[in-house]
Structure 1
Amino acid sequence: MELKTRNYHIIKYLYETKNTTIKELSQKFQVSPRTIRYDLDEIEEILKIYEIKLIRKPHKGISIQGKDEDFQRFKENFKNTENFSSFLTKEERIILILFKLFQSEKPLQIKDFEELLLVSPSTILNDFDEIEIWLKNNNLNLIRKPNYGFKINGEEINIRHAITFLLENTSSEGEILRFLNIIQNNKLADRRLEKNFIKEFDKLIGHIDILKLQEIVHQAQEKLNFKFADSDYAALIVHIALAIKRLRNGKDIFLPESQLIELKNTKEFKIAKEVSSMIEKYYDIKVPESEIGFITFHFLGAKKREKLNNPNFKNNKDNEIYAISLEMSKIFEEIMNIKISQDEDMLRGLYLHLKAALNRIEYNLPLNNPLLKEIKEKYPEIYDATKKASKLIQSNFAKNIDENEIGYIALHFGAAIERNKEENHEFNAVLVCSSGIGTTTILESRLKKEFPNIKVKNKASVFDYEKESNLKDIDMIISTFELENEKLPVIKVNPLLNESDIKKIYQYMKNNEKTHKTKKEEKKINIEDLLKIIKKSSEIKDEKKLINNLKKYFTEKDIKIREKNLAKIQQYHLQDILKEKYINSINKVLNWKEAIKKAGKSLLNDGIIEKTYIESCINIIEDKGPYSVIAPGVSLIHAHPEDGVKHAGLSLFIIKKGVNFNHEYDPVKLIFLLAVKDKSKHIPAMGELLTLLYTENFVQNIISFGSSLEILNYIKDILKI
């Protein structure tokens, strides 16, 4: 006799709890009370075979009665049957429904889901209410009509983005990479296609030769002359596989001609075109230019993820992005009252992340952060401070920054906080992660906090971690998803290292007779060795060689040294560009355009800007929306240096009755209009301005002053200048 998965778990639950109610069962198994009643009827018939009674008493509850040996016999008979697997939670049902909807070009009926989900039609209808909300959040619509069925409707680009989000949400523990790794290593026999993510992933890109696709991507990687990060590699494989499947069904995406023209001038577009030619030839499809453009976006994004451990990153850095990284860290530390802006590891990681993030923001590439909910819940103060610091990106690049990006940036700041705490090491570990630099960094820092005697010797991808150099002198592998290794224990953890993960690691250490309480290893400097290095280098009068030799010596001793900034940038601060004569106020204006014209008037009259600059400021807002409104009642407006800037300057225009920009922070009462000659010199001034905005009652205080001099002195007092 067959037994439904959920019913097996209901029986187990009844046995463990002794007594429960239909309402409690309905809540636990996330189905309707009516479905539970039907399930209990089936359970009663099954249990009779094993001489176990199901007791249902009104107002008293539900229980089962029987001998332990009978119940054990029941469990033994059903534990290995094909019908046995984990029951589906509501979240899992929604994921499977979405997979099935995305797979189908035709409307689906309720009956198409019943066999897959093993729940009642009413439960499925309730699930569709949440699915409709999920689709709306991804700019898609659910068509649901009687005698028609259910079908997803929307633009192709939004469908692609939604599928990508769905895949990433269901693979937060590395399922995609593990699946691709299985195929890469020709372990096709290991593909157990149960009713789970792997099976539905396989259906979604069914009949696509992934091995050939990987071969094509590897060729592209060689031509691009850099190695993809795991997350970029998986995203590109999935994107191309989905594109092939969608193109076969006559579904292609659209890119504006202006963007295509810009992309065609890049080396990446030429390589994407070569990749597309190989795809056309092997998969027998036509790849439109817009699809080539989207492959180019992936290349551009991946290219900007430079190696984290590049010791010369400061020499090669983009001054604007580095300046933003530094200023964001200063805003963060001002809000959190903690010093992190001198942390070179954090600045390096943030700089590299922003290079890729700004590319995603520029080209509207999707990003899903599976850790976002946990970051918000576990580190609300860090997330909130990061969100405020991220306004610097919004102001500088005229683009809103997504909360998924903010979540990843918060990991860098969180890692810096953790890293500042004392370190002790005794165990050697290698970390295997797939979600990027930020995830690896926060996991490493969490480990250092909870286990001072764990030393992370290496951080590797799922494809390279088994290299002999990575596993040399290693005691354990700590991974964010399932791995198997014959020689070393693998401890699977959440990237944020929750309580159960801590217990697992502690238990392993305890079982191996190691202890947390180890003395910090002394780092000794031998003066005689130093003198030899100095004497040898001074004889040949080579200062550069002396510095390199000293660096090598200190590195071998595991002693950190701090270097001065190699690329000193001439920068503007608020005190340099905000003058008393640039601060003006008025009671009211007609509209936001008039407000911007009046805000720029003092700079125009003083020869700081040309009239075209004010026109460009207005045009940008008309084109991109009110991105410039960065805080309640405050707008920071600027255009490009080439739009008519003669000298650097900043004006403050106060509108006491406010003006609407059609933004949630309306009415705007303070307009800062910024003009600079260089893309990076003004970043500190913008950082200081954002610090002002997070000062309590800043807007109200500015409005209350009677003169420009009072306002300027008030600002200087806040900034301590």
Structure 2
Amino acid sequence: MMLSERELKIAIKLLEAKLPMKTKDLSQDFAVSTRTIKYDLEHVKEWFQRQQITVHAQPNKGIWVTCDDCMRKTALQQLLGDERWRQSPDQNVRLQRILVTMFLSQDYVTANALAENLQVSRNTILSDMNFVSEYVEPWMIQLERMKRKGYRFIGAELNMRLFMEHLIYANLTNYEIYQIMTRITTDEGESEQQFLMDATLLSMFKIAERHLKKLYTPAIAQLFHQSDLILLLIRLTISIVRLEKGQTIDGYRVLNKSLYTDDASLFMLTLMENVLTELELPLLHNEFLYLSGDIAKDARGIDLTIVTNQVIQYVSEKEGMDYSKDPKLFNRLFAHLSLRLNKGVFNVSEVNPFADEIKADYPRLFKNITEACQIHLGLSAVINHDAFISLIALHFLSSYENTFATKRKVRGLYVCATGGGVARLIKTRVEKEIHDIEIVGYCSIMEVEELCKREQVDLIISVFPIQSTIPVIVVEAIPTKRDIEMIREHVKPLLKDGYSYQPSLPHHNARLANEESEQVSLEIMLKGFEIFHEISMVFQKDIREERKQGLQFHIFLMVHRSYFDKQYDDFLYTNQSLSEKQQGDIETLKKILEQLQVSVQRAELMALLQYLK
């Protein structure tokens, strides 16, 4: 007996859940009736019985399974591997397999061949192909139909690859990401996997993963985020698959390795060279640029300081709300655009699970941000811009929702595989529902231990089933109502057990309650001018002339934030790699500020780097 797609997802939920799940909650999660869920559960129970896993059900409590960790892991691997592959494909699954098949094909693919491969009728395939055409259109790819020959994709090689990596990455489950990272970072042996929907892609992925595991050291976590490593593997897989079929990006120019000397580039070069040597493929210039993301850069020359302000101003005018009054919005949006457009490494085809929800719930805001980006960023160069726009929208939504900061008690850490904007919205939602918790940061699996120590974390909220001495709650990537309740239940005993958190004291001594605002303003202005003068003298040759005014304004705001303990939000935790010069500049800036008795967080120092050459 094969499980349907919904039954398979229910089985996975039961295995990952720590608390009983109620039928009504499952019906809400899948938007079907409770009767339908009960019918699905009968099939799910039969599947668990064959795996010798006990299923419990109790009125007013719910349904849950009991088994040891080894059996749970084995069952999850089977569900995510063979069962998911063998299930009767619904239209969504069929579309994905059709897309992969056509991407891997060098010639036309006939409807008959697709029908035979997917074991459905030819008419079903003909109907599906209309959806395939719509699916690839945002990626600047066309579906060509030729009588007696079949179908094929027409589009730039880079667009084809970006689309494919998006498709693969978007379909990875949290458990699969956890498995991949566990295999790379530990001595755990190879486990069965079939998440890439095709044997060719899977075999190449395993080769790339094997070589990454050999090269991985804890120092790599300082160069690459978890999502970077996953996407690095996916891009390397796609690159070697296309190279084997003779599909390169603009020719066969060989890479000059001497041009790349930074640690991140050297690591990618070594990984790529090892894999290509095994497969007897050439090391090409454009293939390395694709792997690193540099080939997709098209925003060089844009002054992001000006553009960020222009986008905020445009949206403010259209929305009738002065977002410029929120300095944190500028800081976050500027950092976001800098990472996406200046760094340009791994964020071209990013995934935002809130994209459809944001577009549906805030159509006006989405439209206004799209217009702002088209005018000031040249959005026509951004492929799959819905995800790009929705991530920017998250910053505006967070700015709107986070008007007042409230004190929390339990310090929570969110472990995920998504971007900072998504994590921030989850932070907002969790804190809005549960007033006794503060999500102090988010990170990947590799950074949990370090961040727990740094932030004195009391509770870990994770989309992965990680092991820790600190209490862990495993939730969905987008927390459901049941997840919120589960977090609430864990927060209560932590508060009782003396985990209550007292916010750290400001960097400055407490200000007198009757201090005159005029004196405060004067002190901030003088201090700001003093710092700007000192930095201008020390970095005289490094400050871009067109950014001097922006730097001065930034420093004044920085002093204001420091004075009132409202500094940059350090919630976005990242191990962004810095060059030797940048690291030296950071230390110089830090010494200047310490000498002038202004204490700032590292995020403020990172922001100041943006004004230097």
> Is TM more than 0.5 here?
yes
Aligned to 2:181: 181
Q: SS where residue 455 of structure 1 aligns?
A: strand
- Are the equivalent residues in 1 in contact too, given 2:110–2:151 (CA < 8 A)? yes
- Are the equivalent residues in 1 in contact too, given 2:201–2:241 (CA < 8 A)? no
Residue of 200, 224, 228 corresponding to 1:228: 224
Aligned to 2:207: 208
Structure showing the higher strand proportion among its residues: 1
- Are the equivalent residues in 2 in contact too, given 1:230–1:435 (CA < 8 A)? no
1:483/1:471 CA distance change after superposition, 3 Å = farther
Matched, 1:130 2:135: no
- Between the aligned partners of 2:48 and 2:141, the Cα distance in structure 1 is 42
Whichever residue aligns with residue 285 of structure 1, its letter is L
Residue of 273, 287, 297 corresponding to 1:291: 287
Q: SS where residue 457 of structure 1 aligns?
A: strand
Q: SS where residue 438 of structure 2 aligns?
A: strand
What is the deviation of 1:296?
4.7
Aligned to 2:482: 503
1:119/1:388 CA distance change after superposition, 3 Å = same
Aligned to 2:437: 454
Q: SS where residue 209 of structure 1 aligns?
A: helix
Q: Where do residues 294-373 of structure 1 align in structure 2 (5 Å cutoff)?
A: 294-298=290-294, 320-359=303-342, 365-373=348-356
Whichever residue aligns with residue 448 of structure 2, its letter is Y
1:395-445 CA distance string (max 9 Å, x none): 7x9967834322211112222222223424233211112222222222222
- Between the aligned partners of 1:288 and 1:243, the Cα distance in structure 2 is 10
What is the deviation of 1:229?
2.9
What is the CA RMSD across the aligned residues, in angstroms? 5.4
1:166/1:455 CA distance change after superposition, 3 Å = same
Aligned to 1:246: 242
1:201-245 CA distance string (max 9 Å, x none): 9537355231313555879x87xx962233333222221222122
Whichever residue aligns with residue 322 of structure 1, its letter is T
- Are the equivalent residues in 1 in contact too, given 2:436–2:491 (CA < 8 A)? no
What is the deviation of 1:92?
2.0
- Between the aligned partners of 2:506 and 2:374, the Cα distance in structure 1 is 48
1:187/1:199 CA distance change after superposition, 3 Å = farther
- Between the aligned partners of 1:435 and 1:467, the Cα distance in structure 2 is 19
What is the deviation of 1:376?
1.0
- Between the aligned partners of 1:73 and 1:420, the Cα distance in structure 2 is 48
- Are the equivalent residues in 2 in contact too, given 1:430–1:456 (CA < 8 A)? yes
- Between the aligned partners of 1:391 and 1:346, the Cα distance in structure 2 is 20
Whichever residue aligns with residue 249 of structure 2, its letter is I
1:346/1:255 CA distance change after superposition, 3 Å = farther
Identical columns (%)? 17
1:654-688 CA distance string (max 9 Å, x none): xxxxxxxxxxxxxxxxxxxxxxx9478799xxxxx
- Are the equivalent residues in 1 in contact too, given 2:228–2:346 (CA < 8 A)? no
1:94/1:218 CA distance change after superposition, 3 Å = farther
What is the deviation of 1:156?
2.5
1:123-176 CA distance string (max 9 Å, x none): 2332222113323443334455576455445443232122112113323x5466
What is the deviation of 1:528?
13
Runs of 5+ consecutive residues of structure 1 not aligned to the other structure:
13-27, 30-62, 305-317, 533-546, 552-562, 569-676, 684-721
What is the deviation of 1:286?
0.6
Query: Looking at CA atoms only, which structure, 1 or 2, has the larger radius of gyration?
Result: 1
Question: What is the aligned residue count?
Answer: 461
Aligned to 2:388: 405
User: TM-score scaled to structure 1, two decimals?
Assistant: 0.52
Residue of 228, 233, 243 corresponding to 1:237: 233
Whichever residue aligns with residue 397 of structure 2, its letter is G
1:237/1:361 CA distance change after superposition, 3 Å = closer
Whichever residue aligns with residue 183 of structure 1, its letter is R
Q: SS where residue 425 of structure 1 aligns?
A: coil
- Between the aligned partners of 1:363 and 1:528, the Cα distance in structure 2 is 39
What is the deviation of 1:291?
1.7
- Are the equivalent residues in 1 in contact too, given 2:391–2:421 (CA < 8 A)? yes
Whichever residue aligns with residue 452 of structure 1, its letter is H
1:154/1:330 CA distance change after superposition, 3 Å = closer
- Between the aligned partners of 2:182 and 2:407, the Cα distance in structure 1 is 37
- Between the aligned partners of 1:527 and 1:210, the Cα distance in structure 2 is 45
Q: SS where residue 95 of structure 2 aligns?
A: helix
User: TM-score scaled to structure 2, two decimals?
Assistant: 0.59
Matched, 1:432 2:415: yes
Whichever residue aligns with residue 466 of structure 2, its letter is E
Aligned to 1:161: 162
- Between the aligned partners of 1:423 and 1:255, the Cα distance in structure 2 is 57
Whichever residue aligns with residue 235 of structure 2, its letter is H
What is the deviation of 1:91?
1.4
Aligned to 1:416: 399
Whichever residue aligns with residue 177 of structure 1, its letter is I
Aligned to 1:485: 467
